[in-house]
């Protein structure tokens, strides 16, 4: 870790020193140092994982997050189960991204390379420095002369080593399969956005105003966005399975901290298309990528500083002020470079009509910023309130739902209209000719819902919006495939396949829209139609909720090999008087950490989830237990939509066959005019 820190500092310092000179050998030396960080941190992670799996409890971090009772795979994933280990894992992932970027061919971006190295290595040096000097995962436990247990990297002479008989083990909430993979996905998304940010800073530093930095980083940005999206989705599933409140998203401050860079990253992915197509919004795109990077660091700060109370957050730590200073310095430098190059970032075209694709994309961006502002204010208001009044105020879900709900609905509407518009200008008459067919078909869905007893106006409007976007998206696929079939003479399916293969970015985006639609249906179901009930039952008694009946059969207690004491109820579930499932809601008590975890019993169909929790129980023999039941309509459409969402992102990010358009264009000229060597 120390060697990695020295390499990162060397790479950043040397690259900045020779950035504006022709001493390319020194730039290559800085690049090699940047690449060397990866094997060094890889070895550090390997050592830490070895210590965790082999139960070396004389290491403080191992004693905190590992225990005899944990299986080997949980011991390995405990690498990111605590503050110090997760910082090391964060730095290792970023070093992986950086090494891959450094190994690419820099022929066309040689002038940007020193500043890209400096930007990535400065960020990486900060995180490694936190590991080395503040949160070192390799500190050892020892006993001082007064008999107190201490921890430090190097014990003083004469100190007695201390080896606990067992470790505390991971927090039970972190032992769910979703939490094994959720943090790595989230971290991969976070650190991935450092790559486009670094190229943007490099472009500002050398005064480039072309689109090269966007073209180079487009796939890196999509990959980062994919991992961040997947991390948010897995976190939602973990919350649904483990936290025991029947929901998937609680507007927790740390949840929102991960959601905010996703908002700006999504706005950026939409906005850069306008810059590539029309040379517009250059300043706005710089602002968006700087904001995304700042929010990534800010979100990491909120999670690790301990300033927020959250089930996701780490304990109070001394690294909070250091994060705050780093955010301030990097944000100031970024804005300074932006304002210095402001006049050079003029748009090549102007917005001629709001009823055009670029106009609607801009509205899309403004809505994302509106949602971001609501989320940001909700997160920082308790901090400001505590600083000013001394009292901590909680901002709950009602605030977020009321402020962001209408904006999400407007985003859905734009998702349906924007694909039907043209660049530059679209007349209302032309739009009307295209839009009436999907609009008519979309009305079938809310009308059907109305006839089946749905009278909630907000729910009907939401269902229509989702149906409208679905019909428009499918219509766009049909129009494109039909045009290609007429041009090539093939059948409709082969034309559709070839059309998507030839324009993965556009139609991958449409697949993402399909995923969003299905996710929206799931969200509408649980938010608008969720039902719940609670009751205390004796053996053989039943509880009703809508067309479901649950009968309490018995309760049992037993111990497991991984040191859990399990209390499990056995219940039978009937739907419309037909037996459908036997469920086992339970409460697990982890002896090593002295913490409980509630696991629901779940019966899932496309129609919805029957979700039952064991809330309380009397001692065995008294035959009484309390259950809480949620009926979550359409819940699985959310997870299915997430799968389609990820699939669409993969389609959009998948490399095209043959050379890129940029390489084809530059191969026509020996000295392309927009390249500065």
CA 280 to chain centre: 28
Q: For residue 656, name the pLDDT band (cuts at 50, 70, 90).
A: low
Question: Could you read off the pLDDT of 590-607 as tens digits, one per residue?
Answer: 887 788 888 999 999 999
d(CA 130, CA 88): 9
540 is written with which tokens?
Answer: 């053989």
> What is the mean predicted confidence (pLDDT) over 135-160?
81
3-state secondary structure of 602: strand
Angle at 117 between CA 112 and CA 118, to 5 degrees: 100
Residues ≥6 apart with Cβ < 8 Å to 315: 83, 306
> What is the mean predicted confidence (pLDDT) over 467-486?
91
Question: Could you read off the pLDDT of 57-116 as tens digits, one per residue?
Answer: 999 999 999 988 888 888 999 999 888 999 999 999 999 999 999 998 888 888 999 999
546 is written with which tokens?
Answer: 């809508």
Residues ≥6 apart with Cβ < 8 Å to 326: 126, 297
246 has a pLDDT exceeding 50? yes
> What does the pLDDT read at residue 620?
64
49 has a pLDDT exceeding 80? yes
> What is the mean predicted confidence (pLDDT) over 6-22?
93
Q: Residue 18 falls within a domain, yes or no?
A: yes
Which of 170, 204, 231 is the last residue in one of the domains? 170
Q: Residue 191 falls within a domain, yes or no?
A: no
Q: Residue 240 falls within a domain, yes or no?
A: no
676 has a pLDDT exceeding 50? no
d(CA 234, CA 184): 11
Q: For the range 473-480, what are the long-range contacts, defined as Cβ-Cβ under 8 Å and sequence gap of 24 or more?
A: 473/416, 473/419, 473/510, 473/513, 473/514, 473/517, 474/438, 475/437, 475/438, 476/419, 476/420, 476/510, 477/507, 477/510, 480/507
Q: For residue 169, name the pLDDT band (cuts at 50, 70, 90).
A: confident
Q: For residue 621, name the pLDDT band (cuts at 50, 70, 90).
A: low
Q: Phi and psi (nearest 5°) for 574?
A: -120, 140
Q: At what angle do helices 194-206 and 212-242 cross, to 10 degrees?
A: 150
Which of 119, 137, 170 is the last residue in one of the domains? 170
Q: Residue 642 falls within a domain, yes or no?
A: no
Count CA atoms closer than 13 A to 139's CA, side-chain side.
19
Highest-pLDDT range among 79-88, 191-200, 494-503: 191-200
Q: For residue 665, name the pLDDT band (cuts at 50, 70, 90).
A: very low
Residue 470, Cβ neighbours under 10 Å: how many? 23
491 has a pLDDT exceeding 90? no
Q: For residue 414, name the pLDDT band (cuts at 50, 70, 90).
A: very high
Q: For residue 647, name the pLDDT band (cuts at 50, 70, 90).
A: very high
d(CA 212, CA 218): 10
3-state secondary structure of 609: strand
663 has a pLDDT exceeding 60? no
Q: Residue 8 falls within a domain, yes or no?
A: yes
Q: For residue 510, name the pLDDT band (cuts at 50, 70, 90).
A: very high
3-state secondary structure of 352: coil
Tally the domains of the chain: 2
Q: For residue 316, name the pLDDT band (cuts at 50, 70, 90).
A: low
> What does the pLDDT read at residue 574?
96
> Regarding beta strands 564-575 and 531-538, do their DSSP bridges make them parallel or antiparallel, or are they unpaired?
unpaired
> What is the mean predicted confidence (pLDDT) over 275-294?
94
Q: Residue 147 falls within a domain, yes or no?
A: yes
624 has a pLDDT exceeding 90? no
Share of the chain above pLDDT 90, in %: 58
The chain-wide mean pLDDT, for the chain, equals: 88
> What does the pLDDT read at residue 622?
64
Which of 119, 144, 170 is the last residue in one of the domains? 170
d(CA 45, CA 164): 23
476 is written with which tokens?
Answer: 């766009």
Question: Could you read off the pLDDT of 666-675 as tens digits, one per residue?
Answer: 333 333 333 2
> E strand or H helix at 595, and its extent?
strand 595-599
Question: Phi-psi region for residue 246, left (φ > 0), alpha (ψ -120 to 50) or beta?
Answer: left
CB 90 within 8 A of CB 191: yes
Q: Residue 355 falls within a domain, yes or no?
A: no
Q: At what angle do helices 83-102 and 113-133 cross, to 10 degrees?
A: 160
> What does the pLDDT read at residue 309?
54
Q: Residue 82 falls within a domain, yes or no?
A: yes
> What is the mean predicted confidence (pLDDT) over 181-203?
94
Question: Could you read off the pLDDT of 215-224 as tens digits, one per residue?
Answer: 999 999 999 9
> What is the mean predicted confidence (pLDDT) over 615-641?
88
* Domain residue limits at 603: 531-636
d(CA 210, CA 208): 6
> What is the mean predicted confidence (pLDDT) over 548-560?
92
């Amino acid at each position: 870790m120390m060697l990695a820190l020295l390499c990162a500092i060397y790479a950043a310092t040397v690259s900045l020193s020779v950035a504006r000179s022709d001493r390319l050998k020194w730039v290559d030396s800085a690049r090699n140092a940047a690449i060397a960080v990866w094997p060094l941190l890889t070895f550090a992670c390997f050592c830490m994982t070895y210590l965790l799996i082999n139960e070396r409890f004389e290491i403080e971090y191992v004693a905190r997050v590992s225990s005899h009772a944990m299986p080997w795979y949980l011991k390995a994933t405990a690498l990111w189960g605590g503050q110090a280990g997760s910082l090391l894992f964060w730095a290792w992932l970023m070093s992986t991204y950086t090494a891959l970027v450094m190994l690419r061919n820099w022929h066309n971006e040689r002038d940007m390379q020193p500043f890209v190295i400096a930007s990535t290595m400065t960020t990486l040096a900060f995180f490694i420095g936190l590991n080395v000097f503040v949160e070192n995962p390799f500190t050892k436990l020892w006993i001082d002369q007064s008999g107190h247990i201490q921890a430090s990297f190097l014990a003083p002479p004469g100190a007695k080593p201390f080896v606990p008989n067992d470790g505390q083990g991971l927090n039970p909430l972190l032992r769910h399969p979703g939490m094994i993979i959720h943090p790595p996905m989230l971290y991969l998304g976070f650190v991935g956005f450092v790559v486009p940010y670094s190229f943007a800073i490099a472009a500002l530093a050398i005064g480039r105003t072309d689109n090269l930095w966007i073209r180079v980083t487009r796939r890196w940005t999509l990959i980062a966005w994919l991992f961040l999206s997947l991390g948010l989705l897995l976190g939602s599933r973990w919350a649904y399975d483990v936290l025991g409140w029947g929901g998937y998203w609680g507007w927790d401050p740390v949840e929102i901290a991960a959601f905010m860079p996703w908002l700006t990253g999504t706005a950026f992915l939409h906005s850069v298309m306008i810059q590539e197509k029309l040379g517009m919004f250059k300043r706005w795109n710089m602002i968006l990528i700087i904001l995304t990077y700042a929010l990534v660091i800010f979100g990491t700060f909120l999670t690790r500083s301990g300033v927020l109370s959250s089930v996701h957050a780490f304990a109070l730590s001394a690294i909070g002020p250091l994060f705050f200073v780093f955010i301030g310095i990097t944000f100031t430098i970024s804005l300074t470079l932006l304002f210095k190059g402001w006049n050079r970032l003029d748009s090549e075209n102007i917005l001629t009509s709001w009823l055009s694709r670029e106009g609607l994309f801009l509205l899309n961006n403004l809505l994302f910023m509106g949602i971001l502002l609501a989320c940001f204010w909700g997160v920082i208001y308790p901090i400001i309130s505590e600083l000013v009044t001394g009292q901590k105020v909680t901002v709950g879900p009602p605030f977020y739902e009321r402020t962001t709900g209408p904006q999400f609905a407007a985003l859905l509407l734009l998702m349906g209209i924007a694909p039907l518009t043209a660049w530059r200008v679209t007349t209302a008459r032309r739009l009307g000719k295209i839009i009436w067919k999907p609009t008519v078909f979309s009305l079938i869905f809310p009308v059907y819902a109305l006839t089946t007893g749905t009278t909630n106006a907000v729910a009907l409007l939401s269902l229509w919006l989702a149906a409208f976007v679905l019909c428009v998206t499918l219509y766009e696929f049909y129009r494109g495939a039909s045009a290609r079939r007429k041009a090539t003479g093939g059948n409709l399916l082969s034309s559709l396949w070839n059309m998507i293969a030839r324009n993965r970015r556009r139609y991958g985006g449409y697949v993402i829209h399909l995923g969003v639609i299905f996710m929206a249906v799931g969200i509408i179901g649980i938010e608008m139609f969720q039902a719940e009930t609670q009751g205390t039952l004796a053996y053989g008694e039943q509880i009703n909720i809508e067309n479901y009946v649950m009968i309490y059969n018995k309760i049992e207690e037993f111990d497991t090999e991984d040191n859990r004491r399990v209390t499990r109820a056995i219940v039978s579930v009937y739907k419309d008087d037909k037996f459908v499932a036997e469920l086992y809601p339970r409460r697990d008590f982890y002896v090593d950490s002295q913490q409980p975890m509630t696991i629901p019993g779940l019966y899932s169909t496309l129609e919805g989830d029957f979700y039952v929790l064991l809330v309380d129980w009397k001692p065995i023999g008294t035959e009484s237990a309390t259950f809480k039941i949620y009926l979550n309509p359409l819940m699985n459409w959310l997870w299915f939509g997430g799968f389609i969402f990820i699939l669409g992102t993969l389609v959009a990010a998948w490399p095209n066959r043959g050379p890129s358009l940029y390489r084809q264009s530059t191969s026509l000229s020996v000295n392309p005019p927009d390249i500065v060597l």
